[in-house]
Amino acid sequence: MFDDIHPMARKTEARGSAAAASGRHTPADVDGVAASSFLWSTTVLAPSTAVAVALFALLIRLLVSLGPYSGQGTPSMYGDYEAQRHWMEITLHTPTAEWYRNTAANNLSYWGLDYPPLTAYQSLAHAFLINASIPESLALSSSRGFESHKSKLAMRWTVLSSDLLVLFPAAIYFVSVYFRRNVGGDAKGRSSPWFLAMILLNPCLILIDHGHFQYNCISLGLTLGAIAAILSQKEITASILFCLAINHKQMSLYYAPAFFSHLLGKCFRRKNPIFEVLKLGLVVIGIFALVWWPYIHSVQSVMEVIHRLAPFERGVFEDYVANFWCSTSMLIKWKRIFTISTMRFICSIATILAFFPSFVQQIKSPSDLGFLYSLLNSSFSFYLFSYQVHEKSILLPLLPASLLALQEPTLFGWLINCSLLSMYPLVCRDKLSLQYGSVLALFALIFYAPHGKQHGRVDKSSTKRVALLTVGLICSAVLHLVYLGLEPPKRYPFLFEALIMSFCFSQFVIYTVYTNIKQWMLLDHSSLKMRVKKDS
Amino acid sequence: MAWLGFASLLLRCLEEQQGRGAAMEEAVWMWAVAACVKALLIPSYRSTDFEVHRHWLALTSSVPLRRWYSDTSAPCCTLDYPPLFAYFQRLLALPATSLGLHPSGLLHLSPSPPSSAPLPVLLYLRLSVIVTDLVFLLAAVRLARRRLPIARRSIVLVLLLWSPALLIVDHIHFQYNGYLLGILLLSLSFLEEGKDLAAGIAFSVLICSKHLFLIAAPLYFVYLLRHYCRGSLWKASGRFLIMGGVVGAVFVAAFGPFFYYGQIQQVLSRLFPFGRGLCHAYWAPNFWVFYIVIDKLLAVVLSKLGFDIPSPEASFTGGLVGNSSHFAVLPQVTPLITFVMVLLSMSPCLIKAFQKPQAKHLIRWVAYAFTCGFMFGWHVHEKASLHFTIPLAVISVDSLNDARHYFLLSIVSCYSMFPLLFEPQEYPIKVLLLTLYAIAMWIGFSSYFKLVVVPAEDKVHNPSTSDREETFIGKFGTIYLLGLLGVELWGQLLHPYIFGSSLPFLPLMMISIYCAIGMVCSWAWQLRQILQRT
């Protein structure tokens, strides 16, 4: 989309036009080769290009935020927007100790706080901001279901600013580290602006955060920062950031096996493994103590919070999710066969089994690229097999998938398509179809930008692969149309949802099996490289 | 030798052919990206123009043609565009019936506020703007494919297809400028390719769609007279007759039916409502801003000195002032005076076009003619600055000076449209659109015109060059843009802080005056270019 300023021109920006004024400028190269890279083909992320891509991503977020939010104008319970607004109200007007407790002011059955304390602090901070301009939107209990144009705007801005403050810097940091450390191997013909756009223009994240209304950008941004810190060998920073991410949304634990195994594997390769492990352990404990400070004084209040965070009394899945339990429940009625506690146990075992291979690989030979694959595999194992997953959790595997966009471009594009499809029922409920279509189209356009990506890779794709993709695309298009246009049969009112979910599930499974194999195939030469580096 | 020449010719043909396909592909990609942004803009704010256009759809599809210009069922939204635009609206209304949009009220004559338009109506009208933009895309490709090397072509396409001013006016505020400017660019591309007859047809279609484009008619007349109707007297008059016949046919097709029904008087009175004042409610940043300001200042100063100055009864900022726009000190301005001034100011390009009718200078002349109309015209809207910024985008890569001029002009022109969107929801959108465009221009221009480094020893020997350290936009440009930022900050932050809600017109006035300074400079620069280079 945007060119990197030619290095020469950049040098002269400050004093260039002195020469220009004296008429020594010429329209560049007649053959148009150098300047025809109006675009992407550069591995150096120039400030102007980074700013352009980031501002474009911000613009798209702003435009999506013009649309409706979840539960707009649907009284009694509303939706996630009301939940976030309610948390601001509660954190603003009740003492910290009572945030997770059922009291007269804080009725936990009405959108009780069910995220860790950092989310609560973030709600409080935003509550201060909104309270300064629209206090009636946060008045205790009387403001339930408060909706106005102005308060929507203010709430939207809290998400936008969090995104801008957390995810954007993390993404830029990651992309620059990625190319500096040469994580993806041979950097020739790769485009850093394109890569940054792939991370920032993730349509699912934009729709959920700025359409549906959530703050995933914060926990994902913190995780991304942690990943970048690990890639640049700053393990303590990484631990701090990742602990903060966990304390913002407990779902960040999906990544925990990858972080744990990678750091452990690295520590084992040092002179004092036990000291290194202890150091990181202390950092983790310290951060947790700091965040949980108001609650760690009594066991009871800690248990109260934990109880809110892990609502095991709820079912194995809610609504329709493209995971193993939901997709197979058409054939096997899990909920009827097993009690909740057995189900919990089965889920845990299945999840552990699923992430075990990638876990072992990272302990055995931790590497940068392997770490990215391991993040993807462990988050997918949680998404597919753990207890109580909802459709928005697909955002977690999507983050590492987008970080691997230069490794697996075609698969990443396909994964985005399937994830969007798996969220389609949710999007329809939120009346965000217009935004859905536009963001999907925009992503596809940027993905296939005329000069973006690596030129070679696209050509290499064999006819077999193209045929497979076409079949997949037709399937997904048909499912979209069927869901939009047809009435489901009366006996099975959720038939189409189930169809969509099983289709997406099959794709996800294929994808993650493939990436697990990929991760194991990395084993040999990358671990060798590590050793050489360590010795020198 | 002959073989070599033939081979090079063949190569060039091949290159051009390849270039065309690639240009189309690139342009479609850019248009599609823009279309995604436009689709996301569908729920955004829309002005009363939205209701006006909806009403025209209803009017043209439910009222017989002879009453189109005399219908007064909705006084807010009477038809005041020429007939071809009315036919265009009639065409746009056609698919609505088959889509079953009748219950949604799309084609109801009774007006309703644009903010409460039901979703089908909103989608239909917004999508109609996006789809008719294809004319603009087609014209942009035609113009850009002749501009090689590839980098130059890409820059032209970006500048045209991602114009923030066009996005603001068409896809937020709501109008069909993309379609109309598309016709203008089509006619320009025909002229560049030497297809004068097609250009004449396109331009007369344009005039019969929106008569504001009449300003360029003298230039077109002179140019076509000298360029198309050349040769011996016999051949020239033959060609003159052909051109006249074709243009006349377009006009007959447009106005004929109304002539037949005896409505022509009514049509003309709707098209030229001179009852309106010299300036629009929000002053377009042109010459008359200074005239008004000087008049006000003189009035204040003179009354302080003891002269008896009659205070004007209507404030210029108060909205439509009708014919009562009295100046306190300076002579009154009538439509005739503005007309003469426009003609006089554009006479240099008319003379140049008469002396040497060359296609390569044409876009510059046309842009200049529209600039004159904008600077000195009667009741000019700020949106009219699109008429010359869009054509100037095409030639902005011709030289570094052109690029510099376009960089500043497009920012000023887009900024002067900011007051169109006054709701807080769209504020960050318009700012981001302009900023992104400015960055894209910056990156594109500075990579295209690789500015040559001054060798270090040069600077030592010649300290005067180091004093003249300039960036791409130059010292004046930097200061001017910083001032623009200052005006915006004043209007957004300091003014509400200091004055509260009193003097609401002051920030708008400042924007007008400040942008008018830039516009006058641009006009003068264009005039100098025309005198020196063409």
Q: In the predicted model, is pLDDT for residue A226 greater than 90?
A: yes
A340: pLDDT strictly greater than 60: yes
Structure tokens at B147: 């501009």
Q: How far is B441 from chain A (nearest CA, A)?
A: 9
Q: Which residue on chain A is closest to B438 by alpha carbon?
A: A52
| Chain B touched by A12 (CB under 8 Å) | yes
Cα Rg of chain B (Å, integer) = 25
Pick the residue from chain A with its C-alpha nearest to B153: A36
- The answer to whether the Cβ–Cβ distance between B470 and A18 falls below 8 Å is yes
pLDDT of residue A459: 47
Q: Are B137 and B26 in contact (CB under 8 A)?
A: no
The pLDDT confidence band at residue A16, using thresholds 50, 70 and 90, is very low
Q: What is the pLDDT of residues A115-158, one digit of tens each?
A: 999 999 999 999 999 999 999 999 988 989 899 999 999 999 99
Across the interface, of B428, B435, B471, the residue whose CB is closest to A16 is: B471
Which residues in B lie closer than 8 A to residue A194 (C-beta atoms)?
Answer: none
Q: Where are the beta strands (DSSP E) in A200-251?
A: none
Q: Does A54 touch chain B (CB under 8 A)?
A: no
The distance of B288 to chain A (nearest Cα, Å) reads 33
Angle at B24 between CA B20 and CA B27, to 5 degrees: 135
Cα separation of the two ends of chain A: 41
Q: Would you say residue A38 has pLDDT above 50?
A: no
Query: Which span out of A299-303, A344-348, B113-117, B387-391 was modeled with the highest average pLDDT?
Result: B387-391
What pLDDT sits at residue A24? 35
Across the range A68-72, mean pLDDT stands at 92
Torsion of CA A368, A370, A375, A376, to 10 degrees: 130
Structure tokens at A16: 């260039």
The secondary structure of B300-343 as a DSSP string is HHHHHTT---PPPSS-GGGS--GGG---SSSPP--HHHHHHHHH
Choose the weakest-confidence range: A56-65, A253-262, B324-333, B405-414.
B324-333
Q: Mark yes or no for CB contact B447/A3 under 8 Å.
A: yes
The ipTM, to two decimals, is 0.89
Contact A38 B447 (CB under 8 A): yes
Neighboring chain A residues of B158 at a CB cutoff of 8 Å: 38
Angle between helix B48-62 and B119-132 (nearest 10) = 90
Q: Give yes or no for residue A227 having a pLDDT over 90.
A: yes
Looking at the partner chain, which of B35, B448, B466 has a beta carbon nearest the beta carbon of A35? B448
Residue A460 contacts B, CB cutoff 8 Å: no
Show the tokens assigned to A278: 């202890």
> pLDDT at residue A37 above 50?
no
Residues in A closer than 8 angstroms to B436, CB to CB, are 52, 55-56, 59
- Per-residue confidence (pLDDT) for residue A173, from 0 to 100: 95
Residue A320 predicted with pLDDT over 90 = no
What sign has the CA pseudo-torsion A344, A348, A354, A355? positive
- Closest chain A residue to B15, measured at CA: A31
User: Inter-chain contact A2–B440, Cβ cutoff 8 Å?
Assistant: yes
Q: Which two tokens stand for residue B499?
A: 């004055």
Bridge partners of A317?
Answer: A389
A6, A55, A441 member nearest B450 (Cβ) = A6
Q: Would you state the pLDDT for residue B461?
A: 47
B246-249 contacts at long range (C-beta below 8 A, 24 or more positions apart): B246/B197, B246/B200, B246/B201, B246/B204, B247/B200, B247/B201, B247/B204
pLDDT for A528: 52
Q: Which residues pair with B380 in a beta bridge?
A: B279
B188 closest CA partner among B148, B166, B220 = B220
Please calculate the CA angle B17-B20-B24 and round it to the nearest 5 degrees: 150
> Mean pLDDT score of chain A, rounded to an integer?
84
Q: Do B451 and A16 touch (CB under 8 A)?
A: yes
Mean pLDDT for back-to-back runs of 10 residues, chain B (534 residues): 53 56 84 95 93 92 90 85 94 87 81 85 94 95 87 91 95 95 96 93 95 94 91 90 94 93 89 77 87 88 81 48 61 89 94 91 95 92 94 92 94 94 92 95 85 43 43 83 93 87 84 94 94 86
Rounded to an integer, the average pLDDT of A459-475 is 73
- Quote the pLDDT of residue A25: 38
> What pLDDT sits at residue A13?
31
Quick check: B449 and A28 CB within 8 A?
yes
Average pLDDT of the residues in A2-29: 34
pLDDT for residue B151 = 84
The nearest alpha carbon in chain B to A440 belongs to: B36
Q: How far apart are CA A291 and CA B442, in angstroms?
A: 45
For residues B122 and B124, give the distance between their C-alpha atoms in angstroms, rounded to a whole number.
6
In sequence order, the 6+-apart residues with CB closer than 8 A to the CB of B275 are B322, B323
pLDDT band at A461 (very low <50, low <70, confident <90, very high): low
The pLDDT of residue B339 is 92
Q: What residues in B contact A18, CB-CB < 8 Å? A: 454, 465-466, 468-470
d(CA B149, CA A127): 55
How far apart are the C-alpha atoms of A531 and A522, rounded to whole Å?
A: 14
Whole-number percent of chain A with pLDDT over 90: 53
Answer yes or no: are the C-beta atoms of B391 and B186 closer than 8 Å.
Answer: no
Partner-chain residue, chosen from A2, A17, A28, that has the shortest CB–CB distance to B448? A28
Kindly list the residues from chain A whose CB atom is less than 8 angstroms away from the CB atom of residue B471.
Answer: 13-14, 16-17
Residues from chain A that touch B425, judged by Cβ atoms under 8 A, are: 66, 149, 153
In this predicted structure, what is the pLDDT of residue A9? 34
Q: What is the reported pLDDT for A20? A: 35
- Contact: A59, B151; criterion CB under 8 Å: no
- Name the A residues in 406-435 with CB < 8 Å from any B CB: 434-435
Q: Contacts from A126-132 at CB under 8 Å and sequence distance 24+?
A: A126/A88, A126/A158, A127/A88, A127/A89, A127/A91, A127/A92, A128/A92, A129/A154, A129/A158, A130/A88, A130/A154, A130/A155, A130/A158, A131/A92
Residue B255 backbone dihedrals phi, psi, to 5 degrees: -95, -15
Q: What is the pLDDT of residue A472?
A: 81
Check CB contact of A467 with chain B, cutoff 8 Å: no
- Which residues on neighbouring strands pair with residue A389, listed in sequence order? A317
Question: Is A117 in contact with A110 (CB distance < 8 Å)?
Answer: no
CA B99 – CA B91 distance, rounded (Å): 14
Q: pLDDT tens-digit profile of A367-392? A: 899 999 999 999 999 999 998 888 89
Q: Identify the pLDDT of residue A309.
A: 87
On the question of pLDDT at A15 being above 80, the answer is: no
pLDDT in tens, B247-301: 999 999 999 999 999 889 889 888 887 777 777 777 889 999 999 889 888 888 9
When pLDDT is averaged across residues A453-462 and rounded to a whole number, the result is 48
Q: Is B40 exposed, middle or buried (0-12, 13-18, 19+ CB in 10 A)?
A: buried
- Cβ B435–A55 below 8 Å, yes or no? yes
Closest CA to B274 of B228, B323, B222, B232: B323
Contact B180, B477 (CB under 8 A): no
pLDDT at A26: 37
**Pairwise pLDDT comparison (A235 vs B314), residue with the higher score:** A235
- Interface residue A444 vs chain B (CB under 8 A): no
B466 contacts in chain A (CB < 8 Å): 15, 18
Per-residue pLDDT at B15: 57
- How confident is the model at residue A526, as a pLDDT? 52
Q: What is the reported pLDDT for A532?
A: 52
> A390 at the B interface (CB within 8 A)?
no
> Tokens 């189409």 map to which residue?
A496
Q: CA A414 from chain center: how many Å?
A: 16
Nearest to B510 by CA among B293, B278, B280: B293
Residue written as tokens 């076409």?
A: A470
Backbone dihedral region of B162: left (phi > 0), alpha (psi from -120 to 50 degrees) or beta?
A: alpha
B430 vs A contacts (CB less than 8 Å): none
Q: Report how many Cβ contacts below 8 Å link chain A to chain B.
A: 187
What is the model's pLDDT at position B471? 61
Predicted local distance difference test score (pLDDT) of residue A154: 95
Name residue, tokens 């895309």: B137
